[in-house]
A and B are shown apart, each in its own frame.
Chain A
Amino acid sequence: MLNKVFSICEVKLFFQFILLSVTLISCKPELETADLLATTTSDDRYISMKEVHMRVPAGVPTEIFGQTFDQYMAWFDQNMMGQSKATARIAGQDRSGWELLTQEEIMQLIINASSKYPDLSRHPLRANDLARIRKDFPDIKTEQDVDKNGQFIFDYYSDLIKLDIAPELAKRMKAKKGGKMASSLSSNPLENALIAWNPTSAQAVDNARTMIESIIESPSFFGGSGNNDNHNANAFKHAAWNALGVWWIIEFRGNKWVALDKMKMFATAHETVSVCDGCPRYALGYLFDDGYTITGTIPTSDDIAGDRTAMDLHNNMVGRTFMYNEVRTGWFGIVTYRPGFDRILNYLKEYACTSNRKHYRNEVLNYYGNDYGALTDWNYSADYRSTFLVSLPLNNRDGSRNDNRVDDVPCQ
């Protein structure tokens, strides 16, 4: 009897071992380079960028550091997708590949890859993370040095994560193009490409989104009603998401200005419905400070889609403007003060409760000189535009009641 029990246990152990192996093999993304990076080798190179001396690990192409969006797109097409003629444009023929991925799978790859690099959101840094940074940046000795060069170090590791996840992204794109998902264009391609290009910022923005989703569903904020669209609680949600996104990018040691810029980029990209060459509708304008133009479309019609887009873009900017006004910086751009979560949430909740205006699309645009470029492209607003949130009127433009609109929720 005892022998039988042992034999069953052994069999169970055997299957558990097999199961564990299958789990590890089937779930582990193919991240080829990251493990090698922590160890310096004679093939490493040391270069200076922006007056910072940094290690380029063996096998890492120098060109991946500091790529603009179009450079990244071209690099990805040529080196990952094997295209001889790169489009350098998300709007080109590579678009369907980015559309096939989900944000969730890109974020999962980023989270897996980032665990191999220093956690820059730690204050103070862990000892082994600081040691790794010293190895990668020979001139950086102390945590204060890290703070002084925070944005550069942030970008360096973000670029390495970008490199790590690229082969797996390409593999999945190719597999989905040839598989059952080929007809399923499921995502916002611009958002996906931006996430892959900016892994660390994307993580920060994702942290903010997850946080605000959780907050808005809790009864303590607007009775858990914020996930419905078009009313004051949803306006709060958009503003708080943008403010928290800025907060999180700074937490990862990004600087204030880049934080505002990146948050704007992700928030505006989310409102684009399509990205294409020669779109018949609205050209989104200069989404990036390097002058790269995204020709895309956002809803600009005098209906719910246009109303909602203008409302969301405005409310997003209110959150960024709050952080622009609140965050203080000192020497080397080091952030000396930023508001805590309580202040961010309570301040913006107050806006939603006391400074909420009901506007259609054209009324929102009036505040921006009827210029969609301002609404989509400003990182923040330095004047009265930032002092109120917007939700949608309950009536149609002709004055008739619209039963599909949701009234503002009571503040509680």
Chain B
Amino acid sequence: MKNVAVFTITALLLVVSGCISSIDPVETEVLIADFSVPMRKEITSADHRNNMITYWLQGTISEPVTVRVRYKNPTAGNAAGIFTEEIPKGTYAGNDLPSKRQSDYYGRNEELIIEVTAPKSTVGQLRIRFSVQ
């Protein structure tokens, strides 16, 4: 009976995860106040056919910062990552352009690393919300 119970629970979990979690985008949010050290965060994209990253900026930065999303386990061909985008200095409201940005489509179900770096000495605070679908 133990095997049956394990089988059933596992199968039910698979059904639930298969039907629900694969649909919604994966989201994460970072708040950066200290730009002297790079911010790195791992995220796994949703199990979609074609993924796209959207992100929103909110806050003020005194110098440009760079947002980069790359593969956690890159091959020789894709070591440069999915995109690298320079964010000009200024204030961002967190909604539409220029606060909202999006990537091209890319492959599915990838383990990614998000990096935010400031090439110059930067003050301010930036909240970035990433949605990976």
Could you tell me which A residues sit within 8 Å of B by CB distance? 8, 11-12, 15, 18-19, 22-23, 26-27, 102-105, 107-108, 181, 184-188, 206, 209-210, 213, 217, 219, 222-225, 227-230, 234, 237, 270, 273-274, 276, 279, 281, 297, 299, 301, 303-305, 312, 402, 404-406, 409
8 Å CB contact of A19 from B11, B27, B78, B85: B11
Q: Known contacts A11-B1, A213-B105, A228-B78; is A22 also within 8 Å of B15 by CB? A: yes
8 Å CB contact of A186 from B22, B25, B80, B98: B25
B66 at the interface (CB under 8 A from A): yes
Can you pick out 28 interface pairs between chain A and chain B where the beta carbons lie within 8 Å of each other? A8-B1, A8-B3, A8-B4, A11-B1, A15-B8, A19-B11, A19-B15, A26-B15, A102-B24, A103-B133, A104-B22, A104-B23, A184-B27, A185-B131, A186-B54, A186-B133, A213-B49, A213-B107, A223-B77, A224-B76, A225-B77, A228-B82, A273-B97, A273-B100, A273-B101, A299-B98, A305-B98, A406-B84
Could you tell me which B residues sit within 8 Å of A by CB distance? 1, 3-4, 7-8, 11-12, 15-16, 18-19, 22-25, 27, 46, 48-50, 52, 54, 66, 68, 75-78, 80-86, 88, 95-98, 100-108, 131, 133
Task: Pick the 9 closest A-B CB pairs, nearest first.
Answer: A224-B77, A274-B96, A104-B48, A225-B77, A404-B84, A186-B131, A228-B80, A223-B77, A186-B25
Q: Known contacts A104-B23, A104-B48; is A209 also within 8 Å of B105 by CB? A: yes
Residue of B nearest to A108 (CB): B23
- Pair B80/A406 contact, Cβ less than 8 Å: yes
Closest chain A CB from B25 CB (angstroms): 4
The CA of A228 and the CA of B85, in the complex, are separated in Å by 12
Q: Known contacts A104-B133, A209-B105; is A301 also within 8 Å of B82 by CB? A: no
Q: How many residue pairs, one in A and one in B, have C-beta atoms under 8 Å apart?
A: 146
The CA of A12 and the CA of B11, in the complex, are separated in Å by 12
